[in-house]
């Protein structure tokens, strides 16, 4: 098993253990995007489990070493709000400055959107808790670049991995998306752990194969 595959399996098992993952095929969740989903994940729960979050950060550091490179970064930037604690822990482990990026500029004072000390040309790693279709990352990337910073990589704990645009959108901006685990990893871990019945597992698999079709057939909006 590769290091990336082992990291994905471990991340999925941790998220299941702390009950950050919810399966509800018969009563779908409605996501922020308007999509209907039989699954929901709350990576914010990680912050309340010290041993779990330590392992998650260990895996994130290994991913950075393996896929990005330590010396290619000058700062770690967390996206408001869920990315902030993960960015702080990663920055601390790497001995790098930490920044955070607001969703929009403050309406008072300096009107800053980047908090912290970022020098022109600063090479930033954008960190968030999860990525669905990648849309929210664009705002953070543009904010960093508008402030004369650089960003070529974005790291998330969990990447849905079922919306091609999540990678394609960022690739058009010259940014690579890295995630520790995807829904495919989670489904495999849930089935192995007996968390899902065979019927529910098939329902979740149908969503992963065609998320837009599953969503619209279960009351979700059509997302362009």
Domains defined along the chain, listed by start: 3-203 (3.40.50.2020)
> How do beta strands 98-101 and 114-115 pair?
antiparallel
* Cα(23)–Cα(201) distance, integer angstroms: 9
Quick count: other Cβ atoms within 10 Å of Cβ 193?
A: 12
* Cα(93)–Cα(51) distance, integer angstroms: 15
Reduced to 3 states, what is the DSSP secondary structure of residue 109? Answer: coil
* Cα(86)–Cα(79) distance, integer angstroms: 10
Which residues are 144's β-sheet partners? none
Q: What angle do CA 187, 169, 136 make, to 5 degrees?
A: 75
Q: Strands of 14-140 (E only): list them.
A: 21-23, 29-30, 36-37, 39-41, 75-79, 98-101, 114-115, 123-131
Quick count: other Cβ atoms within 10 Å of Cβ 70?
A: 11
What pLDDT, on a 0 to 100 scale, did the predictor assign at position 110? Answer: 58
- Measured in residues, the chain has a length of 224
pLDDT by residue for the chain (224 residues), tens only, comes to 899 999 999 999 999 999 999 999 999 999 888 999 999 999 999 999 999 999 999 999 999 999 999 999 999 999 999 999 999 999 999 999 999 999 988 655 455 899 999 999 999 999 999 998 888 899 999 999 999 999 999 999 999 999 888 899 999 999 999 999 999 999 999 999 999 989 899 999 999 999 999 999 999 987 76
What pLDDT, on a 0 to 100 scale, did the predictor assign at position 109? Answer: 47
For CA atoms 48, 50, 55, 59, give the dihedral sign: positive
Reduced to 3 states, what is the DSSP secondary structure of residue 19? Answer: coil
* Cα(53)–Cα(135) distance, integer angstroms: 26
Structural contact between residues 90 and 127, judged by C-beta atoms closer than 8 angstroms: yes
* Cα(50)–Cα(131) distance, integer angstroms: 23
* Cα(182)–Cα(180) distance, integer angstroms: 7
Reduced to 3 states, what is the DSSP secondary structure of residue 82? Answer: coil
Cα Rg of the chain (Å, integer): 18
């Amino acid at each position: 098993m590769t290091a990336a595959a082992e990291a994905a399996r471990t991340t999925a098992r941790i998220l299941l253990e702390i009950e950050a993952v919810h399966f509800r095929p018969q009563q779908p969740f409605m996501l922020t995007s308007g999509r209907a989903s039989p699954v929901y994940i709350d990576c914010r729960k990680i912050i309340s489990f010290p041993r779990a979050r330590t392992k998650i950060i260990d895996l994130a550091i290994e991913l950075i070493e393996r896929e990005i490179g330590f010396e290619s970064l000058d700062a770690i930037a967390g996206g408001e709000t869920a990315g902030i604690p993960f960015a702080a822990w990663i920055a601390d482990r790497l001995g790098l400055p930490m920044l955070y990026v607001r969703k929009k500029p403050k309406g008072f004072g300096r009107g800053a959107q980047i908090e912290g000390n970022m020098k022109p040309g600063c090479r930033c790693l954008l960190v968030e808790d999860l990525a669905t279709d990648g849309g929210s990352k664009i705002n953070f990337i543009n904010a960093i670049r508008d402030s004369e910073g650089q960003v070529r990589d974005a790291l998330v704990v969990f990447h849905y991995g079922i919306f091609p645009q999540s990678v394609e959108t960022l690739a058009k901006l010259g940014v690579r998306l890295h995630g520790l685990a995807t829904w495919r990893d989670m489904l495999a871990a849930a089935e192995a752990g007996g968390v899902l019945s065979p019927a529910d597992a098939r329902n979740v698999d149908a969503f992963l194969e065609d998320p837009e079709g599953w969503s619209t057939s279960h009351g979700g909006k059509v997302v362009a």
